[in-house]
Structure 1
Amino acid sequence: MRVNLIAATSTIALALASAAYAADINQAGAKQVEESLTKLLPKSVAKDGFVTVNPAGTRYEIIYDFVKLLKKVEPGSFAITGLTPWSMFATPLDTGLWSVEGNNSLNVSGNFTAPGQPRTDFTYAIDAFIFSGIFDPAISYLRSGDFSTKAINFSSKSEADEVSASFDGMTYKLTSADGAAAGTTNFATSGSAAGFLEKISSREVPPVEIRADAIDFAAAVNGLPANKVRDIILFAVDHADEKQLAGADSDKLKAMLRDAFPLLTSFNETIDFNNLTVSSAAGNGGAKNVNYDVTLDGPTDATRFGVGLTAQQISFASAIVPAAYSAFVPRELQLQFAIEDMDFTAFGDEFLKVDFTGGASSEESGKKAVERLFKGGELVMDFPKISAVSGVYDAEISGKIRGRVDTSKDYSMDATVLARDLDKTIAAVQELAKTNADLNQVSFGLMMAKGFAKTDPDGRQRWDISVARNGSVTINGQVIKGAD
């Protein structure tokens, strides 16, 4: 959602760097702005009057007529009503920057039919979308911006499924700073959406309702060569109507991509769901807080991609979980996962061998690029922490798995398992085994594992597990299984 909000204004502002404008606001300047904006559009759209620009006192008014944008869509497969033009204002400042602002709303309904699928009816409404920002022609992007929406509502309904979603409102902020390398920029964003509600129903699945008091989000991208990315986007738009690139254009695109590499030096994003609840006929659950984060960082020849998920104060109530097992439902969960040592330098070198003219070598070059992403075909997966806590257990796992991208059989693993109050866990399983004899095996396995455990200073049981590529297994230095 926040990406859509920023795109609505950054794409508009992008064109303001395409020409120099006099300080006076006049029709000639408006025509220049309009011509620059249409350069960002496919040729089939640019000539239809989708964008118009007019002088408006000390600024320019830019009007987007979405009806004209969609007039060539086949009416038998897509129809929409309620579309009205959106406008924004752009004011040149004495500093060479531009101030941009707008206040629009949306209330549309329609339907579409995908090939082989039943008709889907939809509605989409935004009570108000308000934004203001500062555009810098030197980097061809917004330097800063503040965005907000009032109530947002969406619904989609077909013969088999029905989905609706809404927010009470949303706020979003953009900031930027010069990157460490010349010609690059660091961008950061943050915001919050309040009163999230989603309802899902279908013929196969009972209705589900998802709520969150608030969704907070933040993201940052560092080292973006903004102008070079802009040029690649403009090149793509300029050739959007071509079925395949000519040889000279393919070479030009490769040169642009090579010059822009690496496209960034790091990226991170976090999303927090506050007071998340899920309700359905099968049961109810939720968590006080659910946090998701993703990171991409490190040198281009040793990049790390990581994902994390944390849930706190989890609750769950369902008839499918007998009361005797409720103590085993985790109260806290944490998952950290990463793919390490990816070589994007080698990937980029191989990728640029792709034949962008659509030649037969394109697919093979793309496959080789993926193979070179992992050095020597080696895949390294890191699990810094996987943990779960309930009323009867407290367990944590960390480790690394090394394998190959071309087979699932050739791998090795080093892992550490930690458990607190293992006797309490064993006792809980033994109690359940009184009514479920199959759990006696679980109880026996836990007691055997306890026999291999070491005790850490904090009282937790520890198992250092090593699985070699030859199939041998050791636990805390003891050989459990020999080589295959």
Structure 2
Amino acid sequence: MNRVLPAVFALALSAPAFGQTVDGEGAKQLSENLSRYVGNQAIDKGVLKVSVEGDAYKIVVDFKALAAMLPKQNFLKFDFAPYALMAKPRSDGSWDVSADLSTSASFEVEGSQGPQSTQFSIAGGKFTGVYDPELAAFASATNSMTGMTMTSRDPTQRVEMSTGAGAAAFNATRAANGGVDFTLAQTMADFVEAIDFDDPNSGLKFPLTVKSPELSVNATGKGMRTKPFLDLLAFAVANENEARLKSNQAELKSLLLAALPLWERIDGTYGFKDFTVESPVGHFGAAELGTSFGTTGIAQNGTINYTIKATGLTIPQQLVPAWGTALLPTDVDLSFGGANINLDSTAKKAIETFDLNKNPALPDDFADTITADFMAGTPKVVIGHSTVKNSNMEIALEGEMTFPGMKPEANVTVDVAGYDKIVESLQAAAKSDPEAAQYFPVALAVKGFGKTLPDGRLEWAINAKADGSVMVNGAMLKPADPAANDSDDEDDSGGETDQTP
């Protein structure tokens, strides 16, 4: 809900204020602005209403009226109080915006396996911000709450989620190359999610509880194309009729091109502190657990990156054999993604090619064409420097994979500190544990391929070629796969043939 309501402001307050007089005529103008993005029907049926209240406009969002407009959802129950948003014009053309986000709601629908219901409540919810029509975004905004609860039920699962106090801050400025740069920081305390899976058909019961005293979300964006997005939304509303859409597809193509590259860069992180998972097989935990994500927009040389980090990991020891306890990781830092991702030419070619007057709108061979163009840019999978470690060992990994001729080719380097500890652990366990006895000779063989570095680490440089060959530290581990015509030649020459004249 905290993300839906700012979007409503963005639609309603798209025109500069410039200290306009708050009156009935202004309310009518705001309604007309809204209708451009949500359609006249939403205004006529009371989904969004604008009125004057003191020196501000009151914008009411009626979710029951919205639900009534949606295609049949088999609602058995729907109880959601309207939201009231206050917007006050400023002399610089922007708007002061505020809202009380405290609410409670519930709804129930008839699902394929039975009733599905959801109830949620937000306590102490407050929102304030300054919306800038020139940015088509909030120049600044904050929201807060004292707590939130949510319960969801269906015939096989019950989920209960709650948080304590939370707060968020958002800021946006004009980007140097067009669009908007923004930052978002959000925190929530006392996050708890309890999942109770109970399937009477299978007899499977599995309760799970996730907890963290602090959850944080941070995001940054550069060059977000906010105004072109609004223009596309307005076009969609004005061209809901299929015939009109087809006749105006030249304008649609122009608007789509104007929205590229969508954004220059977006990065985000999601983190927990003192993260725990309580399950029937034991307790999992991490002092800190987080993920991050970053991607360019529709670019000629795009990139995408993911990371997963965990420190102070704890894993139920009964899940591993006794000899494996010493090998369990306590810290993980994984990094992977892609590079040389050319989506720019793909998107532009698709926009240029599609024709809504044809069925299909794109030629049958279009997928093959853009696939060839995409692969011509030599995209690659990248493994950034990643580590898995505990107090006795550290495993590090990095490399990349490309696809010449649509076949994978990889160059990966693995190095390990404390490999002897792994071997010693397996050797000791092999005396009494058949599983360890199986792994011990493998560990010795792998060590034989390793190269000892000056700091004592063992390193394996692995080169896998598109022809199927694999080399480790320059030694051939697997030769190239036989060529198709090689096997044919062997069949021709290897068997006996009739030489009778």
**TM > 0.5 between the two?**
yes
**1:378, CA displacement in angstroms?**
4.7
**Relative to structure 1, is the Cα distance of residues 72 and 223 closer, same or farther in structure 2, using a 3 angstrom cutoff?**
closer
Q: CA-to-partner distance for each residue in 1:369-406, whole Å, 9 max, x for gaps?
A: 762573338541110123211355321111111126x9
**1:332, CA displacement in angstroms?**
0.9
Answer whether contact 2:17 2:93 (CA < 8 A) is retained. Answer: no
1:234-253 aligned at under 5 Å gives the runs: 234-239=234-239, 241-242=240-241, 246-253=245-252
Q: 2:107 aligns with which of 88, 105, 110?
A: 110
Partner of 1:321: 320
1:215-254 aligned at under 5 Å gives the runs: 215-239=215-239, 241-242=240-241, 246-254=245-253
Partner of 1:35: 32
Q: CA-to-partner distance for each residue in 1:23-46, whole Å, 9 max, x for gaps?
A: 221111112112222332244433
Partner of 2:486: none
**Relative to structure 1, is the Cα distance of residues 441 and 178 closer, same or farther in structure 2, using a 3 angstrom cutoff?**
same
**Relative to structure 1, is the Cα distance of residues 163 and 127 closer, same or farther in structure 2, using a 3 angstrom cutoff?**
same
Structure 1: 5+ residue stretches without partners: none
Answer whether contact 2:263 2:297 (CA < 8 A) is retained. Answer: no
Answer whether contact 2:313 2:329 (CA < 8 A) is retained. Answer: yes
Q: 2:475 aligns with which of 463, 474, 478?
A: 478
Answer whether contact 1:350 1:372 (CA < 8 A) is retained. Answer: no
**Relative to structure 1, is the Cα distance of residues 453 and 349 closer, same or farther in structure 2, using a 3 angstrom cutoff?**
same
Answer whether contact 1:175 1:187 (CA < 8 A) is retained. Answer: yes
**1:363, CA displacement in angstroms?**
7.6
Counterpart-to-counterpart distance in 2, 1:206 and 1:357: 52
Partner of 1:347: 346
**Relative to structure 1, is the Cα distance of residues 74 and 245 closer, same or farther in structure 2, using a 3 angstrom cutoff?**
closer
Structure 1 position 159 matched with structure 2 position 158: no
Partner of 2:206: 206
**1:175, CA displacement in angstroms?**
0.7
Q: Secondary structure at the match of 1:237?
A: helix
What is the RMSD computed on CA atoms of the aligned residues?
Answer: 2.5
TM-score by length of 2: 0.88
The residue identity in structure 2 corresponding to 1:185 is V
Counterpart-to-counterpart distance in 2, 1:247 and 1:82: 39
1:291-330 aligned at under 5 Å gives the runs: 291-297=290-296, 300-317=299-316, 319-330=318-329
Q: Secondary structure at the match of 1:374?
A: helix
| Farther-moved stretch of structure 1 (365-374 vs 200-209) | 365-374
**Relative to structure 1, is the Cα distance of residues 433 and 139 closer, same or farther in structure 2, using a 3 angstrom cutoff?**
same
Counterpart-to-counterpart distance in 1, 2:136 and 2:89: 14
**Relative to structure 1, is the Cα distance of residues 61 and 267 closer, same or farther in structure 2, using a 3 angstrom cutoff?**
same
Counterpart-to-counterpart distance in 2, 1:373 and 1:361: 20
Counterpart-to-counterpart distance in 2, 1:421 and 1:244: 69
Counterpart-to-counterpart distance in 1, 2:39 and 2:429: 66
Structure 2: 5+ residue stretches without partners: 482-501
Answer whether contact 2:123 2:148 (CA < 8 A) is retained. Answer: yes
Q: 2:125 aligns with which of 125, 129, 139?
A: 129
Partner of 1:455: 452
Q: CA-to-partner distance for each residue in 1:215-251, whole Å, 9 max, x for gaps?
A: 1111111112221121012222334x54576322222
**1:205, CA displacement in angstroms?**
4.2
Counterpart-to-counterpart distance in 2, 1:396 and 1:245: 58
**1:474, CA displacement in angstroms?**
2.0
Counterpart-to-counterpart distance in 1, 2:245 and 2:298: 34
**1:180, CA displacement in angstroms?**
1.9
Partner of 1:178: 174
| Farther-moved stretch of structure 1 (337-346 vs 365-374) | 365-374
**Relative to structure 1, is the Cα distance of residues 263 and 416 closer, same or farther in structure 2, using a 3 angstrom cutoff?**
same
Partner of 2:410: 413
Partner of 2:11: 14
Answer whether contact 2:323 2:426 (CA < 8 A) is retained. Answer: no
Partner of 1:467: 464
Structure 1 position 143 matched with structure 2 position 142: no
Aligned residue pairs, count: 475
Counterpart-to-counterpart distance in 2, 1:238 and 1:153: 39
Partner of 2:430: 433
Aligned residues with identical type, % of pairs: 23
**Relative to structure 1, is the Cα distance of residues 322 and 244 closer, same or farther in structure 2, using a 3 angstrom cutoff?**
farther
Q: CA-to-partner distance for each residue in 1:10-31, whole Å, 9 max, x for gaps?
A: 3223322247676221111112
The residue identity in structure 1 corresponding to 2:307 is G
Q: Secondary structure at the match of 1:113?
A: strand
| Farther-moved stretch of structure 1 (78-87 vs 165-174) | 78-87
Structure 1 position 85 matched with structure 2 position 86: no
Structure 1 position 192 matched with structure 2 position 223: no
**1:446, CA displacement in angstroms?**
2.1
Q: CA-to-partner distance for each residue in 1:250-284, whole Å, 9 max, x for gaps?
A: 22211101122111111111111111100011211
The residue identity in structure 2 corresponding to 1:138 is E
Counterpart-to-counterpart distance in 1, 2:43 and 2:372: 40
Counterpart-to-counterpart distance in 2, 1:59 and 1:72: 28
Structure 1 position 257 matched with structure 2 position 253: no
**Relative to structure 1, is the Cα distance of residues 190 and 288 closer, same or farther in structure 2, using a 3 angstrom cutoff?**
same
Radius of gyration: which is bigger?
2
The residue identity in structure 1 corresponding to 2:35 is T
**1:318, CA displacement in angstroms?**
5.2
Counterpart-to-counterpart distance in 1, 2:229 and 2:456: 54
Structure 1 position 168 matched with structure 2 position 167: no
**1:477, CA displacement in angstroms?**
2.1
Q: Secondary structure at the match of 1:29?
A: helix
Answer whether contact 1:220 1:269 (CA < 8 A) is retained. Answer: yes
Q: CA-to-partner distance for each residue in 1:44-77, whole Å, 9 max, x for gaps?
A: 4331022222222221121222222223457871
